[in-house]
Structure 1
Amino acid sequence: MQWSVALEGGPRRVNHAAVLLGDNHIYSFGGYCSTEKAQARGAPIDIHVLNATTYKWQRVWSEQEQRHMGTPPRRHRRGRSEVLDEVARRGFRLNAQGRLQGVRRLELGSVDSDDEPEMAAARAAPAADEVQMAVSDHEGDSDEYEDARRDASIEDEEAAADAAMGVPEADFVPFGAYHQHGLIAEEMEEDTKSVVPYYRYGHTVVAYDGIAYLWGGRNDESGACDLLHAFNPVDNSWRTLATKGRIPPARDGHSAVVHEGKMIVFGGFEEQDQRFSQETFIFDFATATWTEMATTGDRPAWRDFHTAVVIGDDMFVFGGRCDIMGQYHSTRDVYDEQMRALNLKTNRWRVVETKGSIPSGRRSHSAFSYSSKMYVIGGFNGALNEHYNDLYEFDPATEVWTKLETFGEPPSERRRQCTLVANDRVYLFGGTKPSHDSRLQAIPNNNAQGSLTDLSDLHVLDLKPTLYQIAAMKICCTRGGRALFRKRMMFLPGVIRDDLMNRIDPALLAGKPMTPATPAARQATA
């Protein structure tokens, strides 16, 4: 295993939640940054998306968020090439007179699975009258217009894939948000507009059937939430599910996993009763019904900010913050090194008698599963006041823990980061760390555990590094390698050159800062 990418300039977030949608796009929802202005009550959650190939972050702006920030979209007269590029990329056709023809209008939920990639791009298409208005600006320029129209197309497969996922080359077009070329997305009917969840931290997000499901979390203004929200990346739309059954009390710091068409929620801190939880709840996606699982066996102690993964029919739970007072919070933390497993067929808990190099108890760490094994990285032990950046592997077949030694420079010690797997690679980003470590850019975050700094970095761990990836790491992660690359880059094939440039600094190809600009800044340059 090798750490091959380390980049700055992403969203600076702590205690956020992320999920992989599609093969190549990682969506990060919410979290907080200590230095950002406090959000008003009911302010919408923010969303950032990472292209796992180019390492570029983009911001998803919702109509509600723009309205809250007081930055309505502004129109501007575009050049001919801009209009044609937008028309072609959005799937519209022009006849000889430059008029629109074959405009596809979609009703929400009417996409046929066989046509999904093509239709997905059309979902984000601007309204026909908006495009026609833009085209009409340039009527009469027939010769140049015809040549430009002939050449207008989606530039490459990556742009086509992004469009199919609802990811335009620059900004997303959610609800009625603006686009980099000034086109306004088609207004949804009033009765189909969905509720955007308010900003929060300590929530969970899982993916099921191409949709992200967000549950729980809290903020200091609005408190905790027990509503289940669904985000569709095709049209960047939110909706609140009408659920029934035994809805879990609102909480944060819980875990959520998916198994056989159901979401399993465990633990967390319940706001109303001010207690830690040790209960397990199930949400059935098919029936939109919540139930509390009646478990047997040796349940884990009450806890929050633990991790859980599903391997086979078992949900493995590790770590988290317990309390000497059991289910009630006394600020006297207890950290558990035991591994617990819940069999999802028999609903029975058991203590896993682990062996090997057992990691110390911790909370706010990350865990993921890969090749039928569980991995744990980072976290914090409040009793010892220690942050971690170690990486452990747990094999359920042998019940053995192994501390892994990786190549490359690992991330700094941290907690409350996001970590997930995509295409045999681990993507770790954000979180907070002790201020004494100055290897990466950070923002001060003073709290009871001492001075912390909030992070905006991205790290990529290759689980199966190829010879190319090993060589790329040597080039991109050493000063001499980067200097040699800059001298010889023009002699390399374009695909390799672009990949190495992205590993060094994605902004080199984008031609702009990696950090997303604010709506006001974008409009100023519109």
Structure 2
Amino acid sequence: MLRWAVHLEGGPRRVNHAAVAVGHKVYSFGGYCSGEDYETLRQIDVHVFNAVSLRWIKLPPVWTNSRDHVREVPYMRYGHSAVLIDDTVYIWGGRNDTEGACNVLYAFDVNTHKWFTPKVSGMVPGARDGHSACVLGKSMFIFGGYEQLADCFSNDIHKLDTTNMMWTLISAKGTPARWRDFHSATIIGTKMYVFGGRADRFGPFHSNNEIYCNRIKVFDTETNSWLDSPPTPVLPEGRRSHSAFSYNGELYVFGGYNARLNRHFHDLWKFNPVSLSWRKIEPKGKGPCPRRRQCCCRVGDKIILFGGTSPSPEEGMGDEFDLMDHSDLYILDFSPSLKTLCKLAVIQYSLDQSCLPHDIRYCVPCREVIPRVLPVLGVLQPWLRAAWGLLWHCAASGRAGLETTAEADVQWSCSSPGHCVRAFSQCIPLVCYRWELSAMTTNSTISRPIVSSQG
């Protein structure tokens, strides 16, 4: 049951940033925000989101004691890429309005939080932004982007082998994908699936005749060949600055922007690489507003989506210049637990919290998150009574230090709803108070998880 399960506010306000998932954490690098000073050259900032505690932190800047050390830390930028190989994040490309585009490879150790610049060889790609980067094994593949020196879109594929730090320009066979930037490239198996992006009708040079391709282009990394994909009857609209990720061997695309249609998107599409077919997906819950330039990372069965920009509400859905940058975060859950589903059911029915102990109600400022208990539980439907009971059972088991499983939760039932309410009132800090307070950020900005309740 695919569902938008969590909505947080108060995180870093970022656009055109880059992020990777490392275990249960998401590392976000750089980007920009309207109104901030980008004329002064400074280090790239790093924010870390903990998907368990639902907290953001900002890593302190790196102290640099020499000119050479300064060169090892990337400057603040946007339109760059970030990939994770082993315990190292590789940052490449991107641009800054002061320094322009960059083609230096930077590396960030997730264990020590130290930056370094690996010594590379081979044919280094030209400086660019708006490219894509994806990983297969120990290699990073760079495709497309807008090259600064040539002042044009690219459709080259470059490969970095991190075992020897050698760059290679791949001589690809077949009909290549069009020159483009701000597209997505996703590895599934040994193939790279390229979707969307901004191109020009007349070729690699930008003539303000933009086109937005909505056909998938497939690159086989084993044969270094572009493969032809047959047309399909159902296709998403072409777009740029969207998000793409893979789950269970299928490709998902969210959001983006099409300048020809003057439209931002917040739709979710799934592409099956076996049947070569698209299908629009409608998750439960209230999802993000239409946007582009956001980041999206997968943590287990959850997709963490945050940031980006949207047209201001009074300007409609497409205005290019009057945009509103976001500091929010959404979690799309492919496999929500019974506990999560029961929380959502309780919240949806706006249960009263007046019978809860005073100290608990005092510590719970957000009524959107904490369920409220009806004085007379008997008026609830049986499955809602079971939801209360199940939440109490999970909380009590957690208090006792027990590991609750979905199977055990299903087999457990409550024969005394009144007892469950009293017991749940005692245990509610475990399931709700911790859920509420865990989202405080280190800079005193409260980032509360607002659990979606709309279907």
Q: Alignment RMSD, CA only?
A: 2.9
| Pairwise CA distance, 1:466 | 2.3
1:100-115 alignment runs, 5 A limit = none
- Between the aligned partners of 2:440 and 2:97, the Cα distance in structure 1 is 39
Matched, 1:40 2:28: no
Instruction: Tell whether the 8 Å contact from 1:57 to 1:514 is kept in structure 2 after alignment.
Output: no
> How big is the shift at 1:380?
0.3
Separation in 1, partners of 2:16, 2:433: 30
Is the aligned partner of 1:276 residue 2:153?
A: yes
CA distance in 1, matches of 2:122, 2:429: 55
1:475 shift after superposition: 4.5
Q: Which amino acid aligns with 1:13?
A: R
What's 2:278 paired with? 401
CA distance in 2 between counterparts of 1:406 and 1:507 reads: 24
Q: How does 1:94-243 map to 2 (within 5 A)?
A: 195-243=72-120
- What letter corresponds to residue 31 of structure 1 in structure 2? G
Inter-partner Cα distance in structure 2 for 1:502 and 1:362? 39
The answer as to whether partners of 1:204 and 1:254 remain within 8 angstroms in 2 is yes
Which residue of the partner structure matches residue 9 of structure 2? 8
Tell me, what secondary structure is at the counterpart of 1:215?
A: strand
Tell me the distance in 2 between the aligned counterparts of 1:352 and 1:344. Answer: 16
The alpha-carbon deviation at position 355 of structure 1 amounts to 2.6
The residue correspondences of 1:199-348 to structure 2 (distance < 5 A) are 199-348=76-225
Task: Give CA deviations for 1:333-369 in whole Å, capped at 9, x if unaligned.
Answer: 1010110000000010023225353111000000001
Mapping of residues 454-465 of structure 1, within 5 Å: 454-465=325-336
Change in 2 beyond 3 A, CA 1:454/1:54: same
Structure 1 residues 319-328 or 494-503, which shifts more?
494-503
Which residue identity is paired with 2:370? F
Letter in 1 for 2:215: Q
Match of 1:145 in 2: none
User: For residues 216 and 29 of structure 1, what CA distance do their matches in structure 2 show?
Assistant: 12
| C-alpha distance in structure 2 between counterparts of 1:266 and 1:61, whole Å | 32
**One-letter identity of the residue aligned with 1:343:** D
- Residue type of the alignment partner of 1:514: I
Q: Deviation per CA, 1:187-240, whole angstroms, max 9, x where unpaired?
A: x99988871100000000000011100000001001000000000121110001
Unaligned runs of 5+ in 1: 68-187, 438-443, 516-526
Report the Cα offset of residue 37 of structure 1: 2.2
C-alpha separation between the residues in 2 aligned to 1:479 and 1:28? 35
Contact 1:498 1:509 in 2 (8 A): no
- How much has 1:255 moved relative to structure 2? 0.4
Residues 1:285 and 1:402: Cα distance change in structure 2 (over 3 Å): same
- Alignment check: 8 A CA contact 2:310 2:324 kept: yes
Cα distance in structure 2, aligned partners of 1:190 and 1:413: 43
Write out per-residue CA displacement over residues 48-85 of structure 1, whole angstroms, 9 at most, x where no aligned residue: 00001111000011234xx8xxxxxxxxxxxxxxxxxx
Unpaired runs of 5+ residues, structure 2, are: 353-366, 374-387, 400-427, 448-455
Partner of 2:52: 53
For the 8 Å contact 1:194–1:237, the answer to whether it is kept is no
Q: How does 1:460-479 map to 2 (within 5 A)?
A: 460-475=331-346
Which residue of the partner structure matches residue 249 of structure 2?
372
TM-score (norm 1): 0.68
Contact 1:502 1:509 (C-alpha < 8 Å) held by counterparts: no
Q: Which residue of 1 aligns with 2:30?
A: 30
Name the amino acid aligned to 2:35: T
| Structure 1 CA distance for aligned equivalents of residues 67 and 49 of structure 2 | 31
- Flag the 1:484–1:365 CA change in 2: closer, same or farther, 3 A: closer
State the 1:469 CA deviation. Answer: 1.7
- Is 1:506 the equivalent of 2:442? no
What's the counterpart of residue 452 of structure 1? 323
Q: Letter of the 1:33 partner, please give it.
A: C
> In structure 1, what is the Cα distance between the partners aligned to 2:255 and 2:437?
25
Residues 18-56 of structure 1 show CA distances to partners (whole Å, capped at 9, x for unaligned) of 0012x1110000000012123413x10000000011110
Partner of 1:296, secondary structure, is: coil
Matched AA of 1:362: R
Would you say how many aligned residue pairs link Structure 1 and Structure 2? Answer: 385
Q: C-alpha distance in 2, partners of 1:314/1:508?
A: 41
Hey, what does 2:355 align to over in structure 1? none
Distance 1:509 1:381, change over 3 A: closer
- Residue 484 of structure 1: how far off its partner (Å): 8.7
Contact map agreement 2:17 2:78 (CA 8 A) in 1: yes
Q: Please tell me the residue identity of whatever aligns with 2:13.
A: R
How far apart in 2 are the matches of 1:380 and 1:499? 38
Pair 1:484–1:202, CA change in 2 (3 A): closer
Q: 1:47 to 1:483 in 2, by over 3 A?
A: closer
Other structure's SS at 2:344 match: helix
Correspondence for 2:415: none
Separation in 1 of the partners of 2:215 and 2:115? Answer: 38
* Equivalent residue number for residue 295 of structure 2: 418
Shift of 1:414: 0.2
Quote the offset at 1:506 in angstroms: 3.4
Task: Please tell me whether the aligned partners of residues 281 and 291 of structure 1 are also in contact (alpha carbons under 8 angstroms).
Answer: yes
One-letter code aligned to 1:513: T
Task: Between 328-337 and 288-297, report the one with greater CA deviation.
Answer: 328-337
Contact 2:57 2:442 in 1 (8 A): no
Instruction: Tell me the residue number matched to 1:357.
Output: 234
Relative to 1, partners in 2 of residues 1:498 and 1:430: Cα closer, same or farther, differing over 3 Å? farther
Distance 1:24 1:354, change over 3 A: farther
Hey, what does 1:62 align to over in structure 2?
A: 61
> Aligned AA for 1:349?
W
CA contact (8 A) 2:125 2:158 kept: yes
Q: How far apart are 1:498 and its partner, in Å?
A: 4.8
Distance 2:198 2:347 in 1: 38
- Percentage of identical aligned residues: 40
User: 2-side partners of 1:248 and 1:279: how far apart?
Assistant: 9
Q: Are the aligned partners of 2:39 and 2:97 in contact in 1 as well (CA < 8 Å)?
A: no
Say which SS state the counterpart of residue 485 (structure 1) adopts: coil
